[in-house]
Structure formats: structure tokens, C-alpha cells
Amino acid sequence: MFKNIGKFIYMIELGLKYKKIFKEIYFHPFLTMKYRYQKLSRARGEYSNKVLDFLNIEVKLIGELPKKDRILYAMNHRSLLDILVMENIFMRESKNGTWIAKQELFEDPIYGEFFKYSGCISVDLENKRGLLNFFKTIKKVFSKVDDMNLYIFPEGERFKGEGIHKFQGGAQKIAKANNLNVVPVYLKGKMEEVFKNAPYKEKYVVEVYMGEVMGYENIEENYLEFYNSVKDK
């Protein structure tokens, strides 16, 4: 119990520190949108790496990130740890990008401002006007940031069952509307248990499989084909 309390205290205290850093970047009057997202991407990576070091978790990437940008990275989702692990990978290649997050996360009393000022883009799936504003925001960002990438959990929420939960339609619509290529990503193992049991006395290695670049058509079918090719390795 004390181990769990300790890691959450650490993450919250560090999060408050980085929220200030995010806000300084977010509200900086002289930064272009491109440079703002670049700096926020780096700051999120720094935060994530510090948490992973505290938890004594190492990330092993199997496959390669594409050199090109304007990619929608589609990942399975089981734990809060998923974002930290992926930020570690994106920082290695200095990727400029941001997460698509549900509006309710921005309203969270503890982490709401952390998500907002770290550059995440909110989407309200229950509000038609909110959806329209969301797609306008995405379109504007890609018109001004030529090295932008988007990160999304197509399942829509954490899935603790076996295999991959049915995708929501958001990823397909976002990729098509912005003519984005898609890269499937599989975080191997029960990440919720990995996070629950951290921090570790000895280094714990998390494996992440990176797929090949594909078009935006049939995202769910293509993802499942990729998943079935790597799940038992």
C-alpha cells in the first residue's frame, strides 16, 4: 500500500512542477505554434522519463519509428503507464506531437490542467459542436505545424480484457480528414499490473512493437492483423 501511495505522491508532485513548465510554454507570447508543440513534446518526454526512472522501468522498442511525420499513432490502452512509455519512445526520435484526450480528463481536479497545458487536444464525443470544434482545431494545427504527429487510443478507454477492444470511429475519421498515414503500436503485457507492482527493485522491461506505415483505410482491421502478428512473440 505504501509503495502505491509513494509513487502517486511522486507523480503528482512532479506533475505540479511540470504543469508550471507547460503553462510557461503554452502562454509564451513569442513562440510559433510549431515551436510551442516542439517544446511541449520535449517537456512531456522529460516528465515521463523521470517517472519511468522512479518506477525503474525500461522501454524496449521492437521495430522503428518512421522518419516522416504527419502520422497518427494508434495504440492499445490498458494503463496510465501507456502514455509514459510512449512518450519515452517519441522523445528518443525528437517527435513533435500530441495526444487526443477525452474532455472529461481536462475537467479532472488533479490532472485537468496538466493535460490541457501539456498540449493535448480535447474531444467531447457527446457534443456535436464540440466535435466540430475538435476537427477545426486539428485542421488548424496541421496547417501550421509541418512536423506534427497525433497519438490516440482507438479503443477509446482502458481495456482490461483479453485481446483488443472494438475501436471507436474517431481514429479513422481524424486520419481521413487530415490525410494522415497510420502506424499501429502494440504495448505488450498487462500494463495495469506492471504499473500496480511498480516501483521495482530490479529493472523491469516493457516491450513495445512498432508497425509499418499504412494508409488510413480499414484502421481496425489492419491493426488487428498487426496485433495478431506480434502478440505471441
- For residue range 34-80, list pLDDT tens digits in order: 999 999 999 999 999 999 999 999 999 999 999 999 999 999 999 99
What number is the average pLDDT over the span 124-142? 85
Selected residue with higher pLDDT from 168 and 89: 89
pLDDT of residue 132: 86
For residue 29, say if its preceding peptide bond is cis, omega within 30 degrees of 0: no
Mean pLDDT of 6-20: 94
**Which residue has better confidence, 86 or 109?**
86
The DSSP-derived string for 135-169 is HHHHHHHHHH-TTEEEEE-TTSS---SSS-PPPPS
What pLDDT is attached to residue 166?
93
C-alpha–C-alpha distance, residues 228 and 233, integer Å: 10
Angle formed at CA 168 by CA 166 and CA 174, multiple of 5 degrees: 140
Residue 141 cell numbers, joined: 494545427
Neighbours of 62 (CB within 10 A): 12
pLDDT beyond 60 at 98 = yes
Residue spans per domain, the chain: 2-230
Whether residue 182 contacts residue 219, with contact meaning beta carbons closer than 8 Å, is answered with yes
Predicted TM-score (pTM) of the model is: 0.94
- What would the mean pLDDT of 206-213 be, rounded to a whole number? 98
Determine the average pLDDT of the residues in 206-227. 96
Q: Looking up cell 471507436, which residue turns up?
A: 168
User: At the topology level of CATH, where does 2-230 sit?
Assistant: Glycerol-3-phosphate (1)-acyltransferase (3.40.1130)
CB contact at 8 A, 92 and 203: no
For residue 98, with 0-12 CB atoms within 10 Å meaning exposed, 13-18 middle and 19 or more buried, which class applies? buried
Quote the pLDDT of residue 96. Answer: 97
- Which residue pairs, CB below 8 angstroms and at least 24 apart, start in 103-106? 103/127, 103/130
Q: What is the pLDDT of residues 114-132, one digit of tens each?
A: 999 999 999 876 777 878 8
Q: Which of 49-63, 123-137, 145-159, 213-227 has the lowest mean pLDDT?
A: 123-137
**DSSP bridge pairs for 206:** 59
The percent of residues in the chain predicted with pLDDT above 70, rounded, is 98
What is the pLDDT confidence band of residue 3, given thresholds at 50, 70 and 90? low
pLDDT of residue 1: 55
Q: Identify the pLDDT of residue 82.
A: 97
